Each structure stands twice: as structure tokens, then as C-alpha cells.
Amino acid sequence: KQEVTQIPAALSVPEGENLVLNCSFTDSAIYNLQWFRQDPGKGLTSLLLIQSSQREQTSGRLNASLDKSSGRSTLYIAASQPGDSATYLCAVRVQGGSEKLVFGKGTKLTVNP
Amino acid sequence: EPEVTQTPSHQVTQMGQEVILRCVPISNHLYFYWYRQILGQKVEFLVSFYNNEISEKSEIFDDQFSVERPDGSNFTLKIRSTKLEDSAMYFCASYTGYHGYTFGSGTRLTVV
């Protein structure tokens, strides 16, 4: 059974700092991995999608990497801003069945001005 | 940018009542899903829907739950007799291989 773990559970940084969020998964049989952002009480906004054959994806100040064999992904945020404050969720799309997403519990990021 | 639309944004219902949560997925997507998130917990899979039928359902998705795509555009989740523990945020999603999952903004269901 696929399990996704995100470390740390919470992170507080000063504005301008570069930071890394970590995600690990137990079963490397995945189609892809997706990072989402969730603001309090809101929906999930897709940030980056990495296919299982890819090593990384970039969008603006965000860079996500994937090491499928070791079951790890990182989300790198450059030059953090207060508007980046949110919970960041990592999810893997499992192979087999309906290929559902399995989520981690998230990292709650606070960027202080 | 195409969106997944969910209504209502918030629903309060009495225990034992039926609720219907509505979703309009992205029109050219073929895979549709319902997920839920109990406050403070992980987002968890409920059910997937492909080619007008359920392709997989979780242990949570018991006989009290049902899904329908009545008119080729709307996608609904019905809970027949709500319990207190059904209180959660319910998310509809659709999927393509290119964009991955696109989630709606959710319906917050409160059972009192």
C-alpha cells in the first residue's frame, strides 16, 4: 500500500529565503507525482507535475525534483515571499486500478515579512 | 485556464439527511474523481469514474455514497443518510495525462 510522507510538517522562514520541502513515497510504481498548494479552507492548486520518466520540472520560482528509485521528491522555492504562505501537498498517482492519487499530509509554510 | 466547478461551496445539513454535491469537470477530460479531507487530515480518495461507471472505490465509499454523471457534463456525489463523521471538505477532480489532476475549490459539508 502506497504511503506518502512529507517533512517537515511545518516550516517558518523569513522573506527572501530559499527553502526545500521534502516528500517520500514507499512504492516506486507511480505514473507521476504532483505538487499542490492549499490555502486555508480552500481547494488544491496544482503547482508542478512530474512524470515518472522525468527528473525535474520548473515553474517560475518553483523547482520540483523526482528520484523514483529512492522514492523521493523535493520542492524548492526560491526567494520566498509572504504570499507563498500555504500548505504544500505532495501526491503520487499510483499504477494499477484507477490510478488514484495518494497524498501526503502536507507541509505548512509560513513566510514572515 | 479550464476549471473544475463545484457547488455549493458550503452545505450544512442535519444528520440523517441526504445531500448532493455537484461538480462540473473539465469538458474534454475522461477521468473523474471525488476526494475528501477531514479537518486536519490527509486528502483521501473516495471514488473514480470513467466511461460512465465507477472504476474504483475506497473503503470509505460504502452503500451510503453514490455518484452519477446524469447529463454528460455534471458529476454528482450523493450521500444518502449523512453522519456526523461525514463532515469534511469534498473535492471533485478530473485528470489528463498532460496536466495531471485539476481539482475544484471544494464543498465544505457540515453535518449537525
Decide which of A77 and A1 is more confident: A77
> What residues of chain B lie within 8 A of the CB of A106, using their CB?
42
**Taking all residues of chain B, what is their mean pLDDT, rounded to a whole number?**
93
**What's the DSSP call for residue A10?**
E
- Per-residue pLDDT at A57 exceeds 80: yes
Q: Which of B33, B45, B106 sits opposite A43 (nearest CB)?
A: B106
- Per-residue pLDDT at A59 exceeds 90: yes
Q: Which of A44, A45, A49 sits opposite B99 (nearest CB)?
A: A49
**Taking all residues of chain A, what is their mean pLDDT, rounded to a whole number?**
94
Alpha-helical (H) ranges within chain B are none
pLDDT tens digits, one per residue of A88-106: 999 999 887 777 899 999 9
Q: What is the mean pLDDT of residues B104-108?
A: 96
Decide which of B5 and B2 is more confident: B5
| Residue A84 backbone phi and psi in degrees, to 5 | -80, -10
Cα–Cα–Cα angle for A17, A21, A22, rounded to 5 degrees: 150
Measured CA to CA, the distance from residue A73 to residue A18 in angstroms comes to 17
Q: What is the mean pLDDT of residues A35-61?
A: 94
Say yes or no: B72 contacts chain A, CB-CB below 8 A. Answer: no
Q: Which of A49, A102, A106 sits opposite B100 (nearest CB)?
A: A49
Residue A29 C-alpha, separation from nearest chain B C-alpha, in angstroms: 16
User: Which of A15-19, A37-41, A75-79, B108-112 has the weakest average pLDDT?
Assistant: A37-41
- Per-residue pLDDT at B59 exceeds 90: yes
Measured CA to CA, the distance from residue B40 to residue B88 in angstroms comes to 10
pLDDT of residue B30: 83
pLDDT of residue B87: 97
pLDDT of residue A1: 87
pLDDT tens digits, one per residue of A13-28: 999 999 999 999 999 9
Say yes or no: B3 contacts chain A, CB-CB below 8 A. Answer: no
Q: pLDDT confidence of B28, banded at 50, 70, 90?
A: confident
Cis link prior to A8 (omega < 30° from 0)? yes
